[in-house]
Amino acid sequence: MKITRVESILLAVPFEDHGGIWRASGDRKVFQTLMVRIDTDQGPSGWGEVFTKNGELALKALFDTHVAPALIGRDATHIGAIKRDLEKQHHNFGRVGVMAFCVSAVDLALWDILGQAAGLPLYRLLGGATRTEVPLYASLTRYGEPRAVANTVERAVRDGYGAVKLHEVLVDAVIASRAAAGRDTALMLDTNCPWSLAEAKRNAKRMEPYDLMWLEEPTWPPENVHALAALRRATSIPIAAGENAGSLADYRVMFEAGAVDFVQPDIAKAHGLSEALKIAALAEAHDVQFMPHCFMIGPGYVHTLHLAAALEVPLLERYYVELAAEPLGDSVKPNGGRVAVPQGPGLGCAPDPDAIRLYRVE
Ligand SMILES: [Mg+2]
């Protein structure tokens, strides 16, 4: 099954989050997704996603010029060989970062093609038992002011979410959120790498009474796994990290340092679904809970959904915002804190042509 055509499509989809202060793209409230489509000579077209954040036309150009041409004529079912060749060819661009994001997208699209060729939904192809839905946690954008955070937590609980993650740095936001959530809602805090080890120890001590399920990326820089390990020894709050690591070898160092209770690889950053399966196995051997990061609204979100269904991940991350359109269609839209697992072959869904027409960035 030969690859005949490769295309990347950048979307910027507006969202509403009722008072959030997070902006990925200038002053506008938009989520971007850089989607990748790989066509074959035998029918199946697969979709992947490159991790994106802001103004990613440069990233699209990198994919279009350095990655897409290398795929033409390759056998789409040779996923491991294609991934390895791309990685080796570009390893001196860095093993963490934009080239790894591009390789990840290719790996994801090829798994979609393989699922279609096999006639199996991706989660079944990965060995999962039949599963119709996966519970989500509401991953809030940043609100800053504790009352505004707590109001959004209340809204998420009303919408049916049993678990809510904050993106905040104030201990007072945790206190207000626990009061708003009640005792039965799981609460997590993602700080996005703000603190020194000493600051993290002080803040963690103050947050211990509020029953956090985990504290995510509390220290700077993210690759200092020894600081995370020292914090983990000093606090009773479980530690989560991993969205900024690039490959299996990075996760080995993280696990051997005793840095995390929850590991959060992002399949659109850390070399795709193929790498995630290895990381999940290694995590299991180290008694670390595999809990993939998911910042995506495009195909990568559905890939992560299939991975979560296959590996029985207890909760999948989903941004708690109202999107102007669900890029992969309303069948994968969250509903009451859960999402249906597509049952068709491969991803079981594809980008909505209307969403592409309305929100494409050229
Ligand atoms: Mg995070």
Q: Provide the residue-wise pLDDT of the chain in tens; the chain has 362 residues.
A: 999 999 999 999 999 999 999 877 677 899 999 999 999 999 999 999 999 987 679 999 999 999 999 999 999 999 999 999 999 999 999 899 999 999 999 999 999 999 999 999 999 999 999 999 999 999 999 999 999 999 999 999 999 999 999 999 999 999 999 999 999 999 999 999 999 999 999 999 999 999 999 999 999 999 999 999 999 999 999 999 999 999 999 999 999 999 999 999 999 999 999 999 999 999 999 999 999 999 899 999 999 999 999 999 999 999 999 999 999 999 999 999 999 999 999 999 999 999 999 999 98
Q: Tell me the whole-structure pTM to 2 decimals.
A: 0.97
Token digits for 324?
């102007």
Domains of the chain (ranges plus CATH)? 3-119 (3.30.390.10), 124-350 (3.20.20.120)
Tell me the CA–centroid distance for residue 293 and ligand 1, in Å.
7
Tell me the CA–centroid distance for residue 187 and ligand 1, in Å.
14
CB-CB contact of 362 with 331 (8 Å): no
Tell me the CA–centroid distance for residue 220 and ligand 1, in Å.
13
Tell me the CA–centroid distance for residue 279 and ligand 1, in Å.
17
Tell me the CA–centroid distance for residue 190 and ligand 1, in Å.
5
> Is the backbone peptide bond immediately before 221 cis, with ω within 30 degrees of 0?
yes
Tell me the CA–centroid distance for residue 290 and ligand 1, in Å.
14
Tell me the CA–centroid distance for residue 351 and ligand 1, in Å.
25
Tell me the CA–centroid distance for residue 78 and ligand 1, in Å.
32
Tell me the CA–centroid distance for residue 63 and ligand 1, in Å.
25
